[in-house]
Structure 1
Amino acid sequence: LHLSASTSLGPDPNEKVLVNSVTNALKMGADAVSMHVNIGAGSEARMLQDLGHVAVECMEWGMPLLAMMYPRGKDIKKENDVEQVKLAARVAAELGADIVKTVYTGDPESFREVTRGCPVPVVVAGGSKTDDRTTLELIEGAMAGGAAGISIGRNAFQHRMPDKFVRAAACIVHQNKSVEEALKILNG
């Protein structure tokens, strides 16, 4: 269950507010909870405070916590800057996240800095809707850079063939296949 939210229609879409609780997640039968924090946003301090409180509640109940950590805000010039992504991932782990979802830094070497600097597993976000090759290359690079997995949304569920796309992505993640091999699965 995702515990924080905002919309693109609000005055600051980067300001995520707490909209649910770990207790409600348990009542609903959730297996885990997630929180979204934008490092660099004007409301960063409150989002971090919310993440810390949720992390404590998760520890008390044994509820896994996924922290979605993105460098975003008016002073963030490049959301995939390795130093900012490293900071975002590390902060989440230090506040109690069990797994961190963040952006790909653009190449395996720089993403390896993120995964090595974070003491919990890091999964990569899919980002904006892109073409198949670009998304599969992102997945391949992230895995080569030490990602524990992927958390791809719109590039999977908005795909013209979501089932084939997920199979293609999974072959990179779980079988260490190449982008070319994944494209054969997708287009075959």
Structure 2
Amino acid sequence: MTTPGKSRRMRQMFNADTGIMLCIPIDHGMQVGAIDGLSDPDRLIGEIADGGADSIIVNPGLMRRYHKQLERIPSVILRMDQTTMWRTGGPFGYDTTYTRLVSDVNAAVQLGAEAVITYLFTCNLDPAEETRCFEINGEISKQCEANGIVHVIEAMAANGGHARADDPEVVLMNCRIASELGADIVKTDWCGAEGITKVVKNSLAPIAIAGGGKSGSLDELTDVVRAGVDSGARGFMIGRNTFQRSDVRKTVQALRDTIVSGSR
């Protein structure tokens, strides 16, 4: 059930002119530590705001320290969980993915977030870890309903598991599961225009496309965004492909312009 609070917050997250959300995630530090592009959050948040982003994803520590700067962006999504997913197979990782809660919706309310986000990893080699993700999402979903906060579920196949993250059938399964769990918005991997069209048709919640690791030119990135708009995606959550480019403001603006032109 959509509460008045959720309804108001959802409207704030999606651009009033296009009906599509451009969100820049900068929550990577809690998952993998220091990476290129995140050393100066003050400057970065300013460039994201100047570029015209509708939303941003941050961790609790960053929101506490930079809440004044974040007021320049229409909506903030607060990360609720931490995962070893992005370190799987690396020198500081494990053979499989482990995920745990690090915050709750009460903290999000106190910090002034419009939404919270949690991971839903499936196809993990260890079924207990998939079970843990379901438990986390069920708990946060209940908290969101009680507090009128938007719940974004980031639904993806686990690294080191038995499925490819960009397999259209896996993406389709994950997004339907996430929306059945109660997600208000589902963030997921790009799996081609045909795949996303099918995902959008079968999801109970709006679909937002993840940007993935930095790759390709800006023109190639905007081509994917344009195809996503044509496929019915209602949001784009593009982090490293934005903040690891030389001109963050220009990149955000290019993405915004692409969404505007594609939605006409």
Offset at residue 77 of structure 1 (A) = 4.0
Instruction: Tell me if the contact between 1:128 and 1:154 (Cα under 8 Å) persists in the aligned partners.
Output: yes
CA offset digits 1:119-166 (Å, max 9, x no partner): 110010001111223322221222111100200001111111111111
Tell me the distance in 2 between the aligned counterparts of 1:12 and 1:66. Answer: 27
Unpaired runs of 5+ residues, structure 1, are 178-188
Distance 1:12 1:25, change over 3 A: farther
Code of the aligned partner of 1:37: L
Please show how residues 9-158 of structure 1 align to structure 2 within 5 Å. 9-11=92-94, 14-41=97-124, 42=126, 43-106=129-192, 108-131=193-216, 132-158=218-244
Residue in structure 1 matched with residue 80 of structure 2 by the alignment: 3
Q: Runs of 4+ in structure 1 displaced over 4 angstroms?
A: none
Unpaired runs of 5+ residues, structure 2, are 1-77
Tell me the distance in 2 between the aligned counterparts of 1:75 and 1:153. Answer: 24
Distance 1:53 1:174, change over 3 A: same
Give the TM-score, by structure 2 length: 0.63
Secondary structure of the structure 2 residue equivalent to 1:17? strand
Code of the aligned partner of 1:96: G
Instruction: Tell me if the contact between 1:39 and 1:88 (Cα under 8 Å) persists in the aligned partners.
Output: yes
Offset at residue 26 of structure 1 (A) = 1.1
Tell me the distance in 2 between the aligned counterparts of 1:22 and 1:54. Answer: 7
Aligned residues: percent identity?
A: 29
Give the TM-score, by structure 1 length: 0.87
Tell me the distance in 1 between the aligned counterparts of 2:163 and 2:258. Answer: 31
Instruction: Tell me if the contact between 1:16 and 1:37 (Cα under 8 Å) persists in the aligned partners.
Output: no
Offset at residue 176 of structure 1 (A) = 1.0
Structure with more relative contact order (C-alpha pairs < 8 Å, separation 6 or more)? 2
Residue in structure 1 matched with residue 252 of structure 2 by the alignment: 166
Distance 1:26 1:90, change over 3 A: same
Instruction: Tell me if the contact between 1:122 and 1:147 (Cα under 8 Å) persists in the aligned partners.
Output: yes
